[in-house]
Amino acid sequence: MSSRKFARFPLVNFYLRQHFFILSIIFICIACEAVFSAIIPFSFKFIIDALLERNRLRLIYIISGLSMGGILIVFIALCRDYLYTQIIGKIINDIRSRCFDHLSLLPMEFYARYKTGDIMARFSGNLDDIENGLSGITSGAIFPVLALISNFLFLSLLNLKLTLIAMIICPAAFIAPHKLAARVIAENYQRKTEEGRLLSVVQENILMQPVIKVFNLISYLKSNFARYNAHLMRRIARINFLISLVSRWAELTPILLQILALAIASYLVYVNRISVSSLVAFQMIFTTLIYALMRITYSLPGFIQGATGLRRIKEFLNERTSQEEPFKSDQFISFNKSIQLNQVNFSFAKERPTLIDINLTIPKGSFVAFVGPSGSGKSTLLYLIMRLYDPDSGMISIDGVDIRTISNVRLRSLMGCTLQEPMLFDDSIHENIKLGKLDATDTEIEKAAKMAKIHDAIVDMPEGYATRVGERGTMLSGGQKQRIAIARALIRSPEILLLDEVTSALDPHTEEAINLVILQLRNRCTIISVSHHLSSVINADRIYVFQEGRLVEQGTHPELLKQQRHYKKLWDKQNGFTINEAFSNATVSADRLKAIPLFNYLPNNLLEEIVHLFKTEVFQSAQMVIRQGDIGEAFYIIVRGRVGVYKEADGETKEIAMLEDGDHFGEIALLKAVPRNATVKTLTTCLFLVLSHENFRDLLTKVSGLQEKLEEIVLRSRIL
């Protein structure tokens, strides 16, 4: 690929202009090398003529002396190599920095479309390809081109007929490479895309090890990886064959061209059109020409790799940053009145709306809660307020100012947040909390940790605040990660505190303590809490209830209970349980059991007996509860936590439901010893009440005809 091809890429064009002076010096150095490479073969004519005439020894001495200038040329070459490597290093470093900066400006939608491995490949393999391509420009493109020009000029001084012969023959060396290069570039681009996809498969395999092990997916994933790997292997084989065609052409063509050129030049000597000395000089110059052509041809694979890397980096940098800093609104100075959502609609996929026509107002200093079943859109609404996404239509404003007209830096400086999955960096606890406020003192860090009820646990660790948390916080428990994330949010002293399932991974005692902290903060900042634990938000100034993306109810806790609608159903489902402080034991009331269809027809005295038969079990996140195909042996009530329900069919595992606090599963196991028709895996730490098949069967014998009635009820609404 020529330098002109590289110049088509704006990034390279920019850096070529930026380093124009040094590149000019490098170009002059290369020109000197090219001219010198042409002088040596050209001088052979005069040396031979001088030897034949035996009276021009002085000329031989002069030419031999000039040839010693090669030492100077070597020094010049070393100087330009040093300068060029420095420039390449700066260019690659700047492109890498620009890519990293661009990464932080990309919308969340980009991260949903692209696999992590594919993004990572841009920072590793693709930049390496660009570096290799740039490294080969001087020796594989610029020098050979200048050498061709120099040799043709000296050849024209030698003999015009020989020059015409060379000009007719030499282009044959470019026919095959020119035809194949475009195809190889296209194929290589697909190869890089597939390598990125394969890298994502490997990364996913690393991150999803708990799921892989509990679902016994090792064989399935091995075959899945083998399929991707085989496809990539075929692509690589095809590319390598095309490149080998170019290489074989580069090896064979020079020999054929030299034989052809020698034959023509020899004929001209035979018919006395040129001298023997001209023939020797022509052959030397033509050999240099062929060598220059070979260098270009041999450099093509590197240029192809570089072109592919440039294309993928360009594709990445051309990704639209939909949330680029717009004009800075002169209207917005500080948050004084309220946050308003007017006719807000949003969807991740057009055919499935996530939020529909949302209208609400959150006064400054209030404590509000978004509640509803999983998938109702409450967390998504939080992301819109933080402007991780923008609404498809409608407006979110602060004091009447559209947040899209406010600098993201200014907007988010008002906010502290904890996300549903606590995101921690692979650093110390001290540094992770400090990320909320980079100039925070140790005293401020400890104060935030105490507010988040994590300080005592930290000082009990061997390294205290210097304890490293591991990648994504894997060295800590779910509750510890969550509380460190809370401390990181609180250290900012935010005007708006956004909490997404902040108590989901906490034991009741810590949850109560965190809820108390939230209540203490309500007069100092505006609190927006997303929670499916309704007990955590009963003191909210206003509760917004979401159902299938719509705001269906709003009011205080007492007001919503009186309405006897969605909120009341959620409340009833989550209540009737008692949990000890250690989060190790739970009980259920007979009235709560009666709300479950399976137990609705049982007499009260039997319900009282069943209550005492339930055993408490605690499962950590990502643990298997029941497996599809296993014989059912127990019935489960989720007292606290969230589980995913999955079905395996045709080699694929699909999520079919998500269950949370108050939900239950496995009814059929109490009545019949049949295989489970789905798999259940915990998504958070879960507290279950478990009733075994054997204990329940003993009770059924006390009421005639009860088993048949219960079987009819269970089969009518069976999930597991």
Residue of higher predicted confidence among 4 and 567:
567
* Residue 367 scores a pLDDT above 90: yes
Q: What's the burial of 91, exposed, middle or buried (CB within 10 Å: 0-12/13-18/19+)?
A: buried
- In this structure, are residues 615 and 666 in contact, taking their beta carbons and an 8 Å threshold? no
Token look-up 């646990």 returns 457
Mean pLDDT over 539-564 rounds to 93
- Report residue 395's pLDDT band, with 50, 70 and 90 as the boundaries: very high
Give the mean model confidence (pLDDT) for residues 351-375.
90
Across residues 170-181, what is the average pLDDT?
Answer: 61
Most confident stretch, 130-144, 583-597, 704-718: 583-597
Contact 166, 290 (CB under 8 A): no
Binned at pLDDT 50, 70 and 90, residue 127 comes out as confident
Residue 719 has a pLDDT of 46
Under the banding of pLDDT at 50, 70 and 90, the label for residue 94 is confident
Helix (H) or strand (E) holding 103: helix 70-105
Q: What crossing angle do the helices spanning 125-137 and 70-105 adopt, rounded to 10°?
A: 150
Mean pLDDT of 222-245: 73
Q: Which has the closest alpha carbon to 46: 34, 37, 58, 33?
A: 58
- Residue recorded with tokens 């026919």: 175
Residue 526 in this model has a pLDDT that exceeds 90: yes
Mean pLDDT of 270-276: 70
Pairing mode of beta strands 415-418, 496-500: parallel
Alpha carbon separation from 398 to 87, 97, 333 (Å, rounded): 48, 34, 10
Q: Which helix (H) or strand (E) holds 629?
A: none
Reported as a single tens digit per residue, the pLDDT across 234-255 is 777 777 777 666 666 666 666 6
Q: 36-56 pLDDT, tens per residue? A: 777 777 666 666 665 556 555
Strand pairing partners for 638? 688
Residue 614 pLDDT: 92
| Percent of the chain clearing pLDDT 70 (strictly above) | 75
593-606 b/e (C-beta count within 10 Å ≥ 16 → b):
bebbebbeebeeeb
CA-to-CA dists, residue 420 to 417, 425, 503, 504, 532, angstroms: 10, 16, 9, 8, 11
Token reading at 333? 């100075």
Dist CA 608 CA 167 (whole Å): 103
pLDDT of residue 705: 57
Consecutive H or E run containing 82: helix 70-105
The CA–CA distances, whole Å, from 480 to 310, 426, 494, 511 equal 43, 15, 22, 12
pLDDT class of 3 with cuts at 50, 70, 90: very low
CA dist 182 → 9, 172, 188, 243, 304 (Å): 16, 18, 10, 12, 9
Least confident of 127-141, 268-282, 391-405, 614-628: 268-282
pLDDT of 558 reads: 94
Name which residue leads in pLDDT, 18 or 640.
640
- Could you read off the pLDDT of 583-602 as tens digits, one per residue? 788 999 999 998 888 788 77
Instruction: Convert 400-434 to b/e letters by CB count within 10 Å (16 or more is b).
Output: ebbbbebebeebbebbbbbbbbbebeeebbbbbbb
Chain-centre distance for alpha carbon 167? 51
| Nearest-angstrom CA–CA distance, 646 and 681 | 8
In whole angstroms, give the CA distance from residue 107 to residue 299: 39
Residue 467 burial by CB count (10 A; 0-12/13-18/19+): exposed, middle or buried? middle
How far is residue 95 CA from its own chain's centroid? 18
Q: pLDDT value at position 689?
A: 93
Question: Does residue 9 carry a pLDDT above 50?
Answer: no
pLDDT tens column, 311-346: 888 888 887 775 545 445 445 667 889 999 999 999
Q: Nearest-CA neighbor of 614 among 699, 680, 674?
A: 699
Q: Which pLDDT score is estimated for 296?
A: 73
Which pTM does this prediction carry?
Answer: 0.70
CB 252 within 8 A of CB 177: no
What confidence tier does 203 reach under pLDDT thresholds 50, 70, 90? low
**What residue spans of 575-612 are helical by DSSP H?**
590-594, 604-611
pLDDT of residue 652: 74
Q: What's the confidence (pLDDT) of residue 326?
A: 47
DSSP letter assigned to residue 337: S
CA–CA gap between residue 221 and residue 229 (Å, rounded) = 12
| Residue 227, pLDDT score | 76
Q: What are phi and psi of 693, to 5 degrees?
A: -60, -45
- For all residues of the chain together, what is the average pLDDT? 78
Residue 642 pLDDT > 60, yes or no?
yes
Highest averaged pLDDT of the listed ranges 179-193, 260-274, 410-424, 486-500: 486-500
* Residue listed under structure tokens 């489960």: 636
pLDDT surpassing 60 at residue 97: yes
| The predicted structure's pLDDT at residue 540 | 92
3-state secondary structure 641-703: CCEEEEEEECCEEEEEEEECCCCEECHHHHCCCCECCCEEEECCCEEEEEEEHHHHHHHHCCC
Which band of pLDDT confidence, cut at 50, 70 and 90, is reported for residue 482? confident
The pLDDT value recorded for residue 560 is 94
More confident residue, 523 or 575: 575
Task: Count CB atoms within 10 A of the CB of residue 202.
Answer: 12
Give dist(CA 674, CA 664) in Å, integer. 18
Is the pLDDT higher at 381 or at 250?
Answer: 381
Per-residue model confidence (pLDDT) at position 668? 79
602's tokens: 């049982």
Please classify residue 614 by burial: count the beta carbons closer than 10 Å to its beta carbon, then call 0-12 exposed, 13-18 middle and 19+ buried: buried
pLDDT for the residue 497: 92
Q: How confident is the model at residue 5 (pLDDT cuts 50, 70, 90)?
A: very low
Give the per-residue pLDDT at 7.
40
Q: How confident is the model at residue 424 (pLDDT cuts 50, 70, 90)?
A: confident
Q: Among 154, 141, 146, 166, which residue's Cα sits nearest to residue 41?
A: 154
| Structure-model confidence comparison of residues 339 and 309, the more confident one | 339
What angle do helix axes 125-137 and 116-123 make, rounded to 10 degrees?
A: 30
- Residue given tokens 């028709």 in the structure block: 677
**Predicted local confidence at residue 8, as pLDDT:** 45
- 82/76 Cα distance (integer angstroms): 10
